[in-house]
Structure 1
Amino acid sequence: MCNIDCCSGRSPIAKRMAARRLLQLQEEEERRKPKLVIPTPQSLFYPYEEVEAMSQYIIETSHIRPKYGLICGSFLGSMISLVEQPVVIPFADIPNFPAGIEANDSLVVGNVMGAPIIALVNRFHSCDGYNLATCSLPVRVMQLCGVKTIMLTSRAAAVNQQYGLGDIMLIEDHINVVGMMDQTSLEGPSDPRFGSRPFSMVDSYDKDLLAMGLDIGREIGLNKFLHRGVYACLGGPANETLAEERALRTMGVDAVGMSLLPEVIAARHGGLKIFSFVIISWAANDKPAEEGDKDADHRSSRTEDKEPMEVSPLRVQACCDLIGRLLYDMHQER
């Protein structure tokens, strides 16, 4: 490093060159230092005013104020066909609403069995790169549209070894594995207009709706395929290991998936009644193989990370009947 003595004998140009080199060294040292990054809290991604503008657009476009919300997996896409005089609103038309995975992703507003409903088929998944605030945004929008009861469905993998492929499990409780890792859409400042904090997750799934769902399921002939159980949510996109599956089974989990709970938490925070079920699209990994076991091929395909089992048209229709009948009964008892 130069000093006064060594520079005193240099020319003015040499001195300027030495000063420039010193400045470059300081700049390089600054660039090598790690930068302080402060992430945006989840609760600030969609402030109340933005969500309110989204809901107002939907109401003004559809001329309907829905009382019931439905967010279902792609396997229940045919459910939309039950909506009478549907108003289809593309995501791209809703102010500040995020883009979906599919170019034609949209909300559908209309009536099912006389019940005013707003429905979303392709949900947002965190394993697809969406933050948890985006995953729960449709629930917030439905809440401000006037929805009081929400129904949530999805595919899931069996943890309970007694569950077969195509079985339907009505959720009576859950274990939020992702939340235990401090991952939540509510992280950050609280806006009491969405709901108060803290709040209890005990009895999140409405017991009356659960009982109605079980009764309806039996009436439409789902006795052998209908269960009630505990659901766990993992982060994904990797499926659980055998050791993790056994640990979940020890914890009392019956089925596991990578969605639903961000929406359940937002719905509970907003004071909505919740009814939810999953359809088993993967058998338990370590379910003992038996002679003539029809699920054996599907178990191996899950281990090889192939696509989930296609839901049979009859089972899809049964799920649609379950939702439709439940909507009708709820609306008649209002």
Structure 2
Amino acid sequence: MSESSETEVETSLTERATVVTNFIRGLVPKELQYPKVAVICGSGLHHLADALNSSPRVEIPFSDLPYFPLTTVEGHIGKLVFGYFGTVPTVCMVGRIHFYEGNPFNISVFPVRVFSVMGISTLLVTNAAGGLNSEYKVGDLMVLNDHINFPGLAGWHPLKGSNDSLFGPRFLALSDAYDLELRQKVFESAKTLKLGRAIHEGVYVFVSGPTYETRAESRMLKMLGADAVGMSTVPEIIIARHSGMKVLAISLITNAVVTEPTPKASDGPANLSAGMANHEEVIEAARQAGEDMRVLVLEIITKL
């Protein structure tokens, strides 16, 4: 693709984000047309949107929005919900768009570009993740303080291509990706709520999926310094930071990743399926943690 045609694609995406923004503003009341915060609800965490005040409240399916990509994954409903967390105008993205669904990155992160055009200043991202850190238990929360963009290091990066300077710089620093003040609010809020759930800080590694990691891959990721692994979030974080948003990301640990070496055939009978990850397990763990996540997110946002 030539440089000029790349520019045309990027310009088209910018124009499309503006079209979507104007379309949304025609559907929501004036007080919700300029949300302050956007929340991306991860796998099984759609109940976060239930914390929004009952009125005013507007739900818009992805399928009703022009140019908006659709989600195809169980546990990701696919709608935008506009309302208030306390007195803070907020939009919840119930379901997300994944790279592994066959979308190029500029499509999977398109909703975050829309949030930028809408003038949103803070993005709160949640996800379900596998725990690589042996101290993490199923049901624990991890506040992201750094990440490893594994596909990005191999050239699959959401900012690849011509840069749209209307959003941000060509070369983006990510050493401050995860806002310190927002991370502190998580622990302050958990203390206020007397939340009976362990909360850690750690490094999230993004892998493309959709397969879960092999034992050898999991050991490698752990050796690289990752505490949790998942198939989302990092592309959204990069685009949000490129657009100047403050970012907070929280992982719900839904399974303990198997890192023990594969039993050898010469050792005799063994249970290879012990600890094997599956999507139903992820959804169930998210369901059980849903109430704690809901009240925690509400507490954090109302303190902004």
On whether the aligned pair clears a TM of 0.5, the verdict is yes
1:58 aligns with 24
Whichever residue aligns with residue 211 of structure 1, its letter is Q
Whichever residue aligns with residue 175 of structure 1, its letter is I
Q: Does 1:194 align with 2:163?
A: no
Q: Within 5 A, what are the aligned runs for 1:112-261?
A: 112-222=85-195, 225-261=198-234
- 1:142-176 deviation line (CA, Å, top 9, x unaligned): 11111000000010001101111111101010011
User: In the alignment, is the contact (CA less than 8 A) between 2:141 and 2:197 conserved in 1?
Assistant: no
Task: Give aligned pairs, total.
Answer: 285
Equivalents in 1 of 2:248, 2:209: separation in Å? 23
Task: Quote how far apart the aligned CAs of 1:79 are.
Answer: 1.5
Higher share of residues assigned helix? 1
- From the superposition, tell whether residues 306 and 50 of structure 1 become closer, same or farther in structure 2 (CA, over 3 Å): closer
2:38 aligns with 69
- 1:70-95 deviation line (CA, Å, top 9, x unaligned): 11113221111222221111222222
Superposition CA RMSD, Å: 2.6
Equivalents in 2 of 1:128, 1:141: separation in Å? 20
Structure 1 gap segments, 5+ residues each: 1-36, 289-296
Whichever residue aligns with residue 106 of structure 1, its letter is K
Q: Does 1:80 align with 2:45?
A: no
Task: Quote how far apart the aligned CAs of 1:41 are.
Answer: 5.3
TM-score, structure 2 as length reference: 0.86
The percentage of aligned residue pairs carrying the same residue is 31
Equivalents in 2 of 1:312, 1:106: separation in Å? 19
Q: Does 1:101 align with 2:66?
A: no
Question: Which structure would you say has the larger Rg?
Answer: 1
Equivalents in 2 of 1:214, 1:43: separation in Å? 44
Equivalents in 2 of 1:241, 1:232: separation in Å? 15
1:291 aligns with none
Aligned-partner SS, 2:303: helix
2:265 aligns with none
2:267 aligns with none
Equivalents in 2 of 1:265, 1:312: separation in Å? 25
Aligned-partner SS, 2:226: coil
Q: Which is worse superposed, 186-195 or 251-260? A: 186-195
Q: Which is worse superposed, 207-216 or 81-90? A: 81-90
Task: Quote how far apart the aligned CAs of 1:229 are.
Answer: 0.5
Equivalents in 2 of 1:206, 1:230: separation in Å? 14
- From the superposition, tell whether residues 61 and 152 of structure 1 become closer, same or farther in structure 2 (CA, over 3 Å): same
Aligned-partner SS, 1:156: strand
Q: Which is worse superposed, 105-114 or 148-157? A: 105-114
Whichever residue aligns with residue 51 of structure 1, its letter is A
Structure 2 gap segments, 5+ residues each: 262-270
Residue 9 (structure 2) aligned to one of 38, 44, 49: 44
Aligned-partner SS, 1:109: strand
- From the superposition, tell whether residues 120 and 186 of structure 1 become closer, same or farther in structure 2 (CA, over 3 Å): same
User: In the alignment, is the contact (CA less than 8 A) between 1:44 and 1:189 conserved in 2?
Assistant: no
User: In the alignment, is the contact (CA less than 8 A) between 1:43 and 1:133 conserved in 2?
Assistant: no
TM-score, structure 1 as length reference: 0.79
Aligned-partner SS, 1:194: coil
User: In the alignment, is the contact (CA less than 8 A) between 1:44 and 1:188 conserved in 2?
Assistant: no
Equivalents in 2 of 1:313, 1:100: separation in Å? 19
- 1:290-333 deviation line (CA, Å, top 9, x unaligned): xxxxxxx9x82525x56334126552111111110011000xxx
Equivalents in 1 of 2:63, 2:259: separation in Å? 43
User: In the alignment, is the contact (CA less than 8 A) between 1:48 and 1:194 conserved in 2?
Assistant: no
2:303 aligns with 329
Task: Quote how far apart the aligned CAs of 1:105 are.
Answer: 2.4
Whichever residue aligns with residue 64 of structure 2, its letter is D
- 1:86-116 deviation line (CA, Å, top 9, x unaligned): 1111222222222332796221111111110
Residue 289 (structure 2) aligned to one of 315, 323, 334: 315
